[in-house]
Amino acid sequence: MFERILNMFTTVSNEAHGSVFVVFMIGLVFGVLIQYSRVDKFEKIAGFAMLRDTVVPKMLFLAIGLASIGLYFMVEAGYASYHPKPIILGGLIIGGTIFGISMAILGKCPGTGPVSIAEGRIDVLVGAIGGIFGGLVFTLYYDFFKSIMGESLGKTTLVSYFNGHENLSVFVFGIILIIVSIVIPLRQEFDEADLQQLKES
């Protein structure tokens, strides 16, 4: 097992997707942002599912809107390339439904979960152990899951539908998301520790 963990670092350093240090730093900054904005909290994600907290969608829509515009121009300038995921209808619809239900109950997603564990949440650690078994079952019965996922209908992007107007369409897309992020009313759900801090101030 130890050898395979070392192998993980070797694999990353042999690939042209950033050095081990760069990849580690990307994760570190991600962890800081998620923790500092507190969107790793149960009250934020399950709270969003209950429509009692809107910090997660506001932040997410703003980030996507800005990134979509920035990324388009970076691709045009040759500094990045698109890697869209394939349209696999069965996988997206069944997987998305299962994912949404689980996210509402666990109150975490695969990115925010580890950050929560890092701040001492034992229930999320139990969820992560469940996740490891989920990953195990998926690996063992991949043939079965593959039959649910269905055939790929291509890696289409929205801008590719607007031939000749890609600049404008990605700009409109980005601006709409940014506006959505601003107009969603700010609602907040606090946990006990937050409320204590609020009282102190």
Out of 76, 84, 176, 187, which residue is the one contacting another protein (CB under 8 A)? 84
CB of 108 to another protein, least distance (A): 8
The answer to whether residue 49 forms part of the interface with another protein (CB under 8 A) is yes
CB of 164 to another protein, least distance (A): 16
CB of 190 to another protein, least distance (A): 8
CB of 176 to another protein, least distance (A): 11
User: 134 is written with which tokens?
Assistant: 């989920």
Out of 27, 175, 176, 187, which residue is the one contacting another protein (CB under 8 A)? 27
Q: Closer to another protein at the Cβ: 163 or 186?
A: 186
Measured CA to CA in angstroms, residue 150 lies from 85, 86, 115, 142, 146 at distances of 14, 11, 33, 13, 7
Cβ contacts of 65 within 8 Å, gap of 6 or more: 173, 174, 175, 176, 177, 178, 180, 181
Return the residues of window 147-176 that contact another protein according to CB under 8 A: 148-149, 155-159, 170, 173
The answer to whether residue 180 forms part of the interface with another protein (CB under 8 A) is no
Out of 35, 167, 171, 180, which residue is the one contacting another protein (CB under 8 A)? 35
46 CA to centre of own chain: 15
CB of 57 to another protein, least distance (A): 8
Contact of 169 with 162, CB cutoff 8 Å: yes
Contact of 159 with 166, CB cutoff 8 Å: yes
Query: How crowded is the C-beta side of 136, counted as CA atoms within 13 Å?
Result: 6
Q: Closer to another protein at the Cβ: 101 or 175?
A: 101
Q: Closer to another protein at the Cβ: 50 or 175?
A: 50
Contact of 70 with 192, CB cutoff 8 Å: no
